[in-house]
Amino acid sequence: MSADYDVIVIGAGPAGYVAAIRAAQLGFNTACIEKWLDNDNKLVLGGTCLNVGCIPSKALLDSSHKYIEAKHEFGLHGIETGAVKIDVPTMIQRKEKVVKQMSGGIGGLFQANKVTPISGVGKLLKDKKVEVTSHDGKSQVLTADHVIIAAGSVPIEIPPAPTDGDVIVDSTGALEFQEVPKRLGVIGAGVIGLELGSVWSRLGSEVVVLEATENFLPMVDQQIAKEAKKILIKQKLDIKLGAMVTGSKLKKGKSPSVAVQYKDKEGDQEIIFDKLIVCVGRKPYTEGLLSDDCGVEKDERGFIKVDDHCLTNVAGVYAIGDVVRGPMLAHKGSEEGVMVAEIIAGQKAAMNYDLIPSVIYTHPEIASIGKTEEQLKAEGVEYKVGTFPFLAVGRAVAANDADGMVKMLADAKTDRVLGCHIVGPSAADLVQTVTLAMEFSTSAEDIGMTVFAHPALSEAVHEAALAVNGHAIHMPNRKKR
């Protein structure tokens, strides 16, 4: 008896919808199951990233940055605007319009590639069967030759600050504020906490970030993290490190608030906020996803176990994206989706997990690729360093956007680039040029010998590469290592 589909994908986020499209392109009869509904109870594609993550948060980041430019920077260019005000509901409506447009785009791609979207909650059963439960409670069981699990992740909740959806919210709730909180608390100085905190800070909130660890952005090269912290503090984010939240107490009424208790090196503390965002990380979404007899194994943290090609311990069943090991990044999941679809098609496909760029979308952005200086020291690798400030880049100065720097690391013997770390304007785009170069095992000298356009922000990358070997032109060089 033939299967209902060649490939069934559970989840239509960045990992799932890309896997489904690529599988369909390769000639497979493909279905993609998604449970997300909009306010009209219609199927919405794109998962967390598109609906309550990457895309809406960037829409708000851009809106808030334009507000700051209009309020504080236009005058430097001789542009007079008068009083500048923020209309938060309109800003939120624009965000929702962007999300709807992007989700509709995925629907169009499904139609063009003949992917069958199925609305409901997917659950993997034994023998590659998938139970789909619709939102009205009806269920059906589908069969497939291959199943790809791409269920994504959900925010982690903490007992000291349980969310109530109004005063205490997670990252999703922080995208729906209808007015600027006078005083905003953020638990967690990670990627999401800093991005959302910076949005509301620009719009006028007094933002306090409570971070339990003593190190700021420990996963980032620490020279870059130190520079980023200095810039964010200048932007009036109050970042409290070593602040372990121990409890919270809601005050309801006409002016609701929350009193947050935390402990730092000075002892027990309390601070009152109008709103509190809990951003302490995410966990794989596997609740109700796997039947007890499906055979798929998970690790102690709840991630689905896979090999280097995202195959689970069950033949024909794959898992990709946030439900498996590695960084929870949309682009990582998307590339895994392509890889798995091509493997199913019998092609030789692999993914370089050592070269996955990471970006924090504050302003300026913080972006990294490859090894940090701390990692190279821990591994005993001999290396060279080149840095260059945006303050010495004409294009950045002309745009009044010259905070930050580029840092490049190269092997001391071979000159091969081992890492690049940037805090500065358009860091996400700039680090991608180095990612491409590193994919082809480039040397710092190779980048230094490449002609870069002038004036351009990318000149900072060029000069940092030159600085690795003591050849920077537009700044004094350190002694060659």
Catalytic (active-site) positions: 454
Of the candidates 202, 264, 210, 265, the one whose C-alpha atom is nearest the C-alpha of residue 234 is 202
Q: How far apart are the C-alpha atoms of 356 and 327, rounded to whole Å?
A: 9
Question: 295 labelled as ligand-binding?
Answer: no
Question: 346 labelled as ligand-binding?
Answer: no
Can you say how many angstroms the Cα of residue 91 is from the centroid of all Cα atoms in its chain? 21
Map residue 237 onto helix, strand or coil: coil
Of the candidates 18, 11, 202, the one whose C-alpha atom is nearest the C-alpha of residue 119 is 11
Of the candidates 462, 465, 438, 439, the one whose C-alpha atom is nearest the C-alpha of residue 451 is 462
Question: 370 labelled as ligand-binding?
Answer: no
Question: 253 labelled as ligand-binding?
Answer: no
Question: 58 labelled as ligand-binding?
Answer: yes
Question: 322 labelled as ligand-binding?
Answer: yes
Question: 6 labelled as ligand-binding?
Answer: no
Question: 211 labelled as ligand-binding?
Answer: yes
CB atoms within 10 A of CB 405: 22
Question: 345 labelled as ligand-binding?
Answer: no
Question: 122 labelled as ligand-binding?
Answer: yes
Question: 192 labelled as ligand-binding?
Answer: yes
Question: 328 labelled as ligand-binding?
Answer: yes
Structure tokens at 37: 């509904």
CB atoms within 10 A of CB 137: 6
Question: 16 labelled as ligand-binding?
Answer: no
Q: How far apart are the C-alpha atoms of 464 and 434, rounded to whole Å?
A: 11
Structure tokens at 389: 């400030």
Binding positions for FAD are 58, 122, 322, 328-331
Binding positions are 58, 122, 188-195, 211, 281, 322, 328-331
Binding positions for NAD(+) are 188-195, 211, 281
